[in-house]
Amino acid sequence: MFSRSVLRSLTSDLRLSAPTSVSSVNAISQRACLHQTAWLRTTQQQSEPQSSSPIPEAPLSATSQTPLQNTISQSRNAIPLEKQPVAPTFTSPIEVSKSLMEQLPHLVGQTPHYVVAELHARPYLLTEGDHIRLPFLMPKVKTGDILRFNRASALGSRDFTLKGAPHIDERLFECRVRVIGVESEPLRIKEKTKRRQRHVKQAKSKHRYTIMRVMDVRVKSPEELLEEGAVVVEDAEDSPQIEARS
Amino acid sequence: MPVQGLRTVTSARNGVGAFILQCKRLDFHYCNHGGSSRGMLAFLTQTLPEFARENPQIEVRVAPRHGKHPVIKGQYINGREKAICVRNMEPGEILKKAMILKDASGEKLKRTKKPVTSLNESVRGIWSPYHGDLRGV
């Protein structure tokens, strides 16, 4: 979940190099997706020559490489190998039911979106540009890091909601946050007393919290899903559905 | 006609597009004579050059202040200042304090209960009793 993807100064050239085949609705907000299925990545790399051009012309899903292959995108050159973002590996492609495929354009077309992202089993309702102050200090992150939240229990717009049972597949959406810094609270002093003693002990504590900013909340369109190798299956009882508002 | 103030159209949301570190300057004050500055003097000679190299976006100033305890002061983009007294501390502890000042947002410390603060309007709108279908009671 916390795979560190430091994409500083990356967003602009990523947007420039967005593939043109994606539907016009999402052409602007196309970003690197680091969650391709493992088998898909290998097939892509076999099929296309290893690009050494400064701006990759392929969809950026193809740029998430394993460090062993010496084809890290240029904008991430400065980052040491061991800190390159690690793409998750999936054993099977995402399965999308027919009805979800039909309903998904309604949800994609209606902006803005919200996502109920879960972090340590706590839900956070997020929209783009929100300020988060986690109730804990997140270890091993530095200011400026970009994290991707991949566990969500609900995803929606004004009229449509996609509910997960209990979670939505992480390949259906993108939610990125940036670590802005660390804040602390004012010093708490609690007075501790023992019986029949005049002495009052003061217990002091000052917790520190990680603060973050939501960079984007995006639902993927059916075309993108198919491009990434989604498999359309028949409706089942437990397949996720988009609920329209009554 | 009363003077109309300018309405703010946008508000800064650092980190959504570009990200700027909020700490813009760190001042290190020390005393050449005092014993409480001993750790600080070691920090200035050993650790500080590397710290400054790692954080090129922060201006680092070192200035002597005679007869006083060593202090690190951070200047922030929002105009505020934070100061931490580092008397009798080891260089490692002083580095931790410098990191605190570097990561801080410059805001006054507050206790908040809600984890998420949003400037956006509610995505699903506000519930109204006059709209939507009647639900069975």
Q: In angstroms, what CA-CA distances link B112 with A134, A157, B14?
A: 11, 28, 20
Q: How confident is the model at residue A151 (pLDDT cuts 50, 70, 90)?
A: very high
pLDDT tens, A86-144?
Answer: 777 888 888 899 999 999 999 999 989 999 999 999 999 999 999 999 999 999 899 99
Q: How confident is the model at residue A219 (pLDDT cuts 50, 70, 90)?
A: very high
Nearest-10 Cα torsion for A17, A19, A23, A25? -10
Residues of B in contact with A112 (CB under 8 A): 120, 123
Question: pTM (2 decimals)?
Answer: 0.73
pLDDT for position A141: 92
Q: How confident is the model at residue A147 (pLDDT cuts 50, 70, 90)?
A: very high
Residue A1 covered by a domain: no
pLDDT for position A69: 45
- Residue A149 touches chain B, beta carbons under 8 Å: no
Residue B61 CB neighbour total at 10 angstroms: 11
Residues of A in contact with B125 (CB under 8 A): 158
pLDDT tens, A39-79?
Answer: 444 444 444 444 444 444 434 343 344 444 455 666 677 77
Lookup: tokens for A46: 């076999």
Average pLDDT score over residue span A178-194: 96
In one-letter notation, the amino acid at residue A223 is E
pLDDT for position B118: 93
Lookup: tokens for A134: 């986690």
Question: What DSSP designation does B15 have?
Answer: T
pLDDT tens, B52-66?
Answer: 999 999 999 999 999
Residues of B in contact with A129 (CB under 8 A): 13, 16, 118-120
pLDDT for position B135: 67
Sign of the torsion formed by the C-alpha atoms of A61, A66, A69 and A75: positive
The ranges assigned to domains in chain B are 24-103
Cβ pair B105:A211 closer than 8 A: yes
Measure in Å the smallest separation between the Cα of B70 and chain A Cα atoms: 22
Average pLDDT score over residue span B52-81: 95
Q: Residue B133 in 3-state DSSP?
A: coil
Residues of A in contact with B100 (CB under 8 A): 182, 184
Asked if residue A2 has pLDDT above 60, the reply is: no
State the fold for domain B24-103: Glutaredoxin (3.40.30)
In three-state form (DSSP H/G/I as H, E/B as E, the rest C), the secondary structure along chain A is: CCCCCCCCCCHHHHHHCCCCCCCHHHCCCCCCCCCCCHHHHHHHHHHCCCCCCCCCCCCHHHHCCCCCCCCCCHHHCCCCHHHCCCCCCCCCCCEEEHHHHHHHHHHHHCCCCEEEEEECCEEEEECCCCEEECCCCCCCCCCCCEEECCCEEEEECCCEEEEEEEEECHHHEEEEEEEEEEEECCCEEEEEECCCCCCEEEEEECCEEEEEEEEEEEECCHHHHHHCCCEEECCCCCCCCEEECC
Mean pLDDT of chain A: 76
Average pLDDT score over residue span A210-227: 94
Residue A35 covered by a domain: yes
pLDDT for position B70: 96
In one-letter notation, the amino acid at residue A27 is A
Pairwise CA distance, residues A19 & A27, whole Å: 8
Residue of chain B whose Cα is closest to the Cα of A131: B117
Residues of B in contact with A144 (CB under 8 A): 19, 21
Contacts by B58-61, CB closer than 8 A, 24 or more apart? B58/B21, B58/B23, B58/B24, B58/B25, B58/B26, B58/B102, B59/B24, B59/B25, B59/B26, B60/B25, B60/B26, B60/B28, B61/B25, B61/B26, B61/B27, B61/B28
Considering its fold, how many domains does chain A have in total?
A: 1
pLDDT tens, A23-38?
Answer: 333 333 334 434 434 4
pLDDT for position B128: 83
CA B61 from centre of chain: 17
Average pLDDT score over residue span B7-29: 89
Residue A118 covered by a domain: yes
In one-letter notation, the amino acid at residue A3 is S
Asked if residue B76 has pLDDT above 90, the reply is: yes
Nearest-10 Cα torsion for A187, A191, A192, A198? 140
Strand order in the sheet with B81-85: B59-64, B23-30, B71-76, B81-85
Structure-model confidence comparison of residues A16 and B48, the more confident one = B48
Q: Can you give the residue range of the structural domain that contains A146?
A: 11-244
Mutation site, B103, B113, B134, interface A, largest A CB count within 10 A: B103
Of residues A108, A97, A180, A173, the one with CA closest to residue A142: A180
Q: In angstroms, what CA-CA distances link A212 with A115, A125, B31, B105, B120?
A: 15, 14, 38, 11, 16
Measure in Å the smallest separation between the Cα of B104 and chain A Cα atoms: 6
Q: Residue B93 in 3-state DSSP?
A: helix
Cβ pair B118:A131 closer than 8 A: yes
State the number of CA atoms in the 13 A half-sphere of B104 facing the CB: 27
Residues of A in contact with B123 (CB under 8 A): 112-114, 127, 156-158
Mutation site, A107, A136, A211, interface B, largest B CB count within 10 A: A211
Residue A4 covered by a domain: no
In one-letter notation, the amino acid at residue B80 is R
Q: Which residue has the tokens 């717009």?
A: A157
Q: Residue B92 in 3-state DSSP?
A: helix
Of residues A4, A210, A180, the one with CA closest to residue B12: A180
